[in-house]
Amino acid sequence: MTAEIPLTAEPSDGTPSPEPKYKGLLAWPKEALEERFVELGGRPFHARVAREQLLGKGVLDYDSMTSLPAQLREALKIEVPLLAGSCTQRVEARDGTIKLLLDFPGDESGKGGGVETVHIPPLGAKRGQGATLCVSTQIGCPVACPFCASGLDGLARNLQPHEILEQFAQGRAQGELRRVVVMGIGEPLLNFENLTLALEQVHEIVGLGARKITVSSVGFPERLRQAARSQPRFQLAISLHTPDDDQHDELIPALRGTPIDEILAAGDDWFQVTGREVTYEYVLLGGTNDSAQHAERLVRRLGGRRATVNLIPYNSTRGLGYHRPAPEDVEIFATLLREGGIVATVRYSRGADGAAACGQLRMRA
Ligand code: SAH
């Protein structure tokens, strides 16, 4: 291990030093990092202090980690780059929502690119209680929903666990975190192993547990059944968007041919295995899936389930050909669901003046 990592940035013969073995502090396995800290004159526990400062407190430079010895900090600055990605844009909307565009370098496949992380402070009475952080799991997305900006260019690659974690560090640097929604760019169930590894650290170091983390997925049934039986736990939201199989094939192309009933059965299984209720998300697209008949068919589809439907009035993305329904149509849709015995909530996107939703900042860059 020691032999593979150069002790100095520049070897004495003047040739450029090789690429660091791990990109960013959070990419290092725990024990290797402790060893490296000792080699650089620190103590093993300093490695944990640095991880906690970065991930738990959002301290984004070694100079500010004043609980580490000054000499160690100087060595770390040269030998252990703190972050793999760089923040290339920061947009603060009028409502306080902060959107970050984080750029990650190419991996062994050569592919890298930008993802969005959004820091959403609570409004009104909850002000000051810590924000919700929205994180991405993939660079691009292979699901290709025709109304969503995230998948317009397909998938570049999965994010590595440390790249998912760096979003927490960058987000925490904007202010305290109270909740996490995995609703950024990408389909979490298609990068589940890396997400799980990252969430373990979030649990351990950031201190956010299952109840505070919501993962949103289009709901690949087999993967959902596996996820229900894995750790760590989280809240589940399934993007459904329509009660009709034909339209589902159109709106969520990666699930073409999978009957909605199979997805709902996997949702029921989730509830049975985890004891946690599923939320169904429904993007309201004006003139596409927002009619009274859609609401009635959705009630019949979900009939008898203990489920919440979260209605998301569409955040218009230029050029995609969908639009947001009028507020009164949103209300009618919600009322019809409630009359059918379903708990329905309406969620308007925050930070709309800063190209808020789902891959829009990235497309603008
Ligand atoms: N791939 C995951 C996470 C996506 S983002 C999933 O599909 O669930 C979370 C939600 O935002 C999804 O329901 C997605 O369909 C929705 N969404 C995408 N683009 C949107 C837009 N422009 N306006 C409103 N919601 C959008």
Query: Tell me, what's the pLDDT at 317?
Result: 84
Return the domain boundaries, the chain.
1-83, 86-354
- Please give the average per-residue pLDDT across 290-314, as a whole number: 95
2: amino acid identity, one letter: T
**Pocket around ligand 1 at a 6 A CB cut-off:** 143, 145, 147-148, 183, 187, 216-218, 239, 281, 283, 312, 314-315, 317, 349, 357-358
- Please give the average per-residue pLDDT across 284-308, as a whole number: 95
Residue 350, exposed/middle/buried by CB under 10 A (0-12, 13-18, 19+)? buried
How do residues 91-138 score in pLDDT, each as one tens digit? 999 999 999 999 999 998 899 999 999 999 998 767 778 999 999 999
- Please give the average per-residue pLDDT across 57-82, as a whole number: 98
How many angstroms separate the alpha carbon of residue 220 from the centre of ligand 1?
15
Tell whether the model's pLDDT for residue 361 goes beyond 80: no
How do residues 140-152 score in pLDDT, each as one tens digit? 999 999 999 999 9
Probe target for ligand 1 pocket from 133, 236, 358, 361, with the most ligand atoms within 8 Å of CB: 358
Atom 13 in ligand 1: residue holding the nearest Cα: 239
Find residue 140's DSSP bridge partners: 155
Tell whether the model's pLDDT for residue 302 goes beyond 60: yes
Probe target for ligand 1 pocket from 137, 148, 290, with the most ligand atoms within 8 Å of CB: 148
Query: Tell me, what's the pLDDT at 89?
Result: 96
Nearest residue to 159 via CA among 128, 192, 134: 192
- Please give the average per-residue pLDDT across 271-278, as a whole number: 96
Atom 3 in ligand 1: residue holding the nearest Cα: 183
Query: Tell me, what's the pLDDT at 169?
Result: 98
Query: Tell me, what's the pLDDT at 10?
Result: 45
Q: Which CATH fold would you assign to the domain 1-83?
A: DNA polymerase; domain 1 (1.10.150)
Identify whether 6 is preceded by a cis peptide bond (ω within 30 of 0): no
| Lowest-confidence pick of 10-24, 198-212, 311-325 | 10-24
Residue 19, φ and ψ in degrees, nearest 5: -55, 140
What is the Cα Rg of the chain in Å? Answer: 22
How many angstroms separate the alpha carbon of residue 46 from the centre of ligand 1?
40
How many angstroms separate the alpha carbon of residue 323 from the centre of ligand 1?
14
Rounded percentage of the chain residues whose pLDDT exceeds 70: 90
Which atom of ligand 1 lies at the shortest distance from residue 143's CA?
A: 1
- Please give the average per-residue pLDDT across 255-269, as a whole number: 98
Better-predicted residue by pLDDT, 73 or 3? 73
Atom 22 in ligand 1: residue holding the nearest Cα: 315
Tell whether the model's pLDDT for residue 161 goes beyond 90: yes
Query: Tell me, what's the pLDDT at 5?
Result: 42
335-346 CB burial, b ≥16 within 10 A, e <16: ebbeebebebee
How do residues 162-216 score in pLDDT, each as one tens digit? 999 999 999 999 999 999 999 999 999 999 999 999 999 999 999 999 999 999 9
Query: Tell me, what's the pLDDT at 205?
Result: 93
Atom 9 in ligand 1: residue holding the nearest Cα: 183
CB atoms within 10 A of CB 3: 5
Probe target for ligand 1 pocket from 283, 289, 290, 364, with the most ligand atoms within 8 Å of CB: 283
How many angstroms separate the alpha carbon of residue 312 from the centre of ligand 1?
9
Average pLDDT, the chain: 92
Give the pLDDT band (50/70/90) at residue 12. very low
Rounded percentage of the chain residues whose pLDDT exceeds 90: 83
Atom 21 in ligand 1: residue holding the nearest Cα: 315
Hey, which residues are catalytic here? Answer: 116, 358
Q: What angle do CA 20, 24, 29 make, to 5 degrees?
A: 85
Query: Tell me, what's the pLDDT at 4?
Result: 44
Tokens 């060595």 label which residue? 75
Q: Which CATH number fits domain 86-354: 3.20.20.70, 3.30.1150.10, 3.40.630.30, 3.40.50.720?
A: 3.20.20.70
Query: Tell me, what's the pLDDT at 59?
Result: 98
Give 55-106 as a DSSP string. IIH---SGGG-TTS-HHHHHHHHHHS-S-SSEEEEEEE-TTS-EEEEEEE--
Which atom of ligand 1 lies at the shortest distance from residue 237's CA?
A: 8
